[in-house]
Amino acid sequence: MSDKEVALITGANKGIGLAVARQLGVLGYAVWLGCRDAQRGAAAAAALRKEGLDAQSLVLDVTNAGSVEAARASFQQEAGALDVLINNAGISIGSAMRASEEPVDDMRAMFEVNTFGAMRMTQAFLPLLRKVKGSRIVMVSSSLGSIAETSDPAGLFWDVGYPGYSASKSALNMLTVKLAKELMPEGIKVNAINPGYTATDLNGHNGYRSVEDAAKIVVELAKANPLAPTGGFFHDGHATQHRHAW
C-alpha cells in the first residue's frame, strides 16, 4: 500500500482520462487507470511509469457489475482505500439526430456507460472512499446535459442535437446532486464538470480544447481542499471559481 493519495480514473487509457492520470501523477498521486481493455490499460500505465509516475492499470467494464466488483476487490487488496474517484468513462453513439428518430437502443447504451456506469462505480467503491477523510468524487459530465442551457433559445445549445447523450448527462448531473447531499455529512465531496468541447475520440477529434486543458478542470476538483464546494457543476477552466448552470 502507498502512503500517497490514491486516485482511480475510469476510461483512462487515452484522452481526458489519461491526461488526468498524468497530471495527478505529477502532483504526487498514485494513479490507477480503469480500462476495459487490459492491454491498452497496461500500456498506458507503463508509459506513465516511464515518466516517473506511480501508475497502475485496473481492468474494469463500467457496464458490467461483475467486472466492477472484481475490480473493487483487486483494488482493495492492493491499495486498501481510495481518496479520489473520477468517473470519466463515456460514450456517444450516432449522429446529431432528432429525439423522435434516435434509436432507443442507442440511448440505452449511452445511459449504461455515461449514467449507470458512473453510479455502478460510485456504489462499488464508496466503502473505500469512506475509509479516507475528505475523499472526492468527480463526474465528467457535459453542458449538453444542462436543461437550462438547452431550453434557452439564445443559448449555445438550442440547435444542438444528440438527445440520448444529452439526456444521459442530465441524469448524471441529477445523481451528482443527490449523492452530494447524501454524502455531505460524511465530508465526501461530489461534483460534476464540463470539460468543454475537447478533441477526443468521442467527437472525432473535432473539439477546440486539448485534453491537457480539459484535464486541468478535473484535477482542480480532484485535489484535496476542505473549503471546496460540493454538489456543483463546473465549467470552462475555472473549477474553483465558476459554478455553471445545471
Known catalytic residues are 165, 169
Which strands, in side-by-side order, build the sheet including 189-194? 55-59, 30-35, 6-10, 84-87, 136-140, 189-194, 233-235
Say if CB 25 and CB 55 are below 8 A apart: yes
Q: Can you tell me which residue has the cell 486543458? A: 213
Q: Can you tell me which residue has the cell 475520440? A: 201
Residues 118 and 135: their CA atoms lie apart, in Å, by 16
Q: How crowded is residue 103: how many other Cβ atoms within 10 Å of its Cβ?
A: 12
Say if CB 195 and CB 209 are below 8 A apart: yes
- Cell numbers placing 116: 449507470
Say if CB 65 and CB 101 are below 8 A apart: no
**Cβ contacts of 241 within 8 Å, gap of 6 or more:** none
Residues 125 and 210: their CA atoms lie apart, in Å, by 29
Task: Specify the DSSP class assigned to residue 26.
Answer: H
Q: How far is CA 40 from CA 43, 67, 181, 202, in A?
A: 5, 17, 36, 17
Residues 192 and 169: their CA atoms lie apart, in Å, by 10
